[in-house]
Amino acid sequence: MLSPTHEEAAKRLERLADRLRVVGPRLGARQGAEAAELLARIRAGLQRIADLTADADGEPRREVPVLSAYALADQALVLGHDLLRDGDRTDLFRVEAVAALQDVHDLV
């Protein structure tokens, strides 16, 4: 499979953020272990994107802050755009970052 262009990767990121704008608040409003686990999986995907960026930049990895479920879309956008700021990273975005958050499309 070919790597996406920078524009294609940015569009995928926007679609992911749109989905998180819906899913995040729904999960945040739920009680129980299932919702907590789904939020943890999303946050783990966000951490993976941050780790990919740090590794690609040769920087130390930093922990992504745990914010409200309402902020997940914004976090994904910031972290995703950080990863995509170098046009050569679209393959990382396709293979790693999107895979890290693929579950989002199956949630709720």
Give the tens place of pLDDT for each residue, 38-86.
888 888 888 988 998 898 889 999 999 999 999 999 999 999 888 888 7
1 domain residue, yes or no: no
d(CA 85, CA 93) in angstroms, rounded, equals 11
pTM of the predicted structure, to 2 decimals: 0.81
77 domain residue, yes or no: yes
At 85, list the tokens: 């700021």
d(CA 96, CA 20) in angstroms, rounded, equals 18
Domain encompassing residue 18 = 6-106
Is the pLDDT confidence value at 18 over 50?
Answer: yes
Give the count of domains, the chain. 1
Q: Cite the DSSP H helix spans in 3-103.
A: 6-29, 33-57, 72-84, 90-92, 98-100
| DSSP structure string for 60-76 | ---PPP---GGGHHHHH
